[in-house]
Amino acid sequence: MKNPILLTLFSLLFSILTVHAQDNSNGFPISKHYIGLGAGFTTGFGISYRYVPQSFGVQINLAPYYDKNNNSFVSAGFTLLQSIKEAPDHRVFVYFANSLLYQKTISTGYNYNYPYNSSSTTSVSSVYNTGVGLDFQFFNFNSPFVFDLMGGLGGYNSFERFTFTGEFAIYYRI
């Protein structure tokens, strides 16, 4: 890792938190499975699946795109979640997110002068982003929909740059 600041921050956040198992004594439903749409700089974007069986959970975001010319773009994200507060209408998590953006583009150039020919150029790029912060999950007892808002510190382009990050998602409770 190029910069140990993010690793230190992540370790401190998870080591100082005292977390208790989920309790459903308030009468609000606690779902384990969520599916929806998510977008973020460090969590990736696309179809999102979240699994939170107890106080620890995971989130996966995926958006693959391929076209007829063999161009491709993939956003894939994996996030770890740790619950730190629960209430009847919201939950708060600490999160550690990782995402990979992969893009492959094939360009074809044509020479219209004699001799007529064409040439193809393939460019491939991949960017790794990571982040740590707080995740606020808001829900209504009568609605199956959950709104999720995340914010924290992100390391972009394989830790070349650090700045604030924001993520959001809308889920359906399964």
Encoded tokens for 42: 């460090």
Domains of the chain: 4-10+33-173 (2.40.160)
- pLDDT digits 0-9 by tens, 92-125: 999 999 999 999 998 888 877 777 777 888 899 9
Count of all residues that appear for the chain in the document: 174
- pLDDT digits 0-9 by tens, 69-85: 888 999 999 999 999 99
pLDDT-based confidence at residue 11 (cuts at 50, 70, 90): low
9 vs 2, 14, 94, 123, 147, CA distance in Å? 14, 9, 12, 35, 26
pLDDT greater than 70 at residue 8 = no
Return phi, psi of residue 14, to 5°.
-80, -25
With a pLDDT cut of 90, the percent of the chain lying above it is: 60
- pLDDT digits 0-9 by tens, 134-158: 999 998 878 899 999 999 999 999 8
Q: What is the pTM of this model?
A: 0.75
pLDDT greater than 80 at residue 30 = no
Half-sphere exposure of 105 (CA within 13 A, CB side): 5
32 vs 42, 64, 78, 79, 114, CA distance in Å? 23, 25, 17, 15, 65
- Tell me what pLDDT residue 5 has: 56
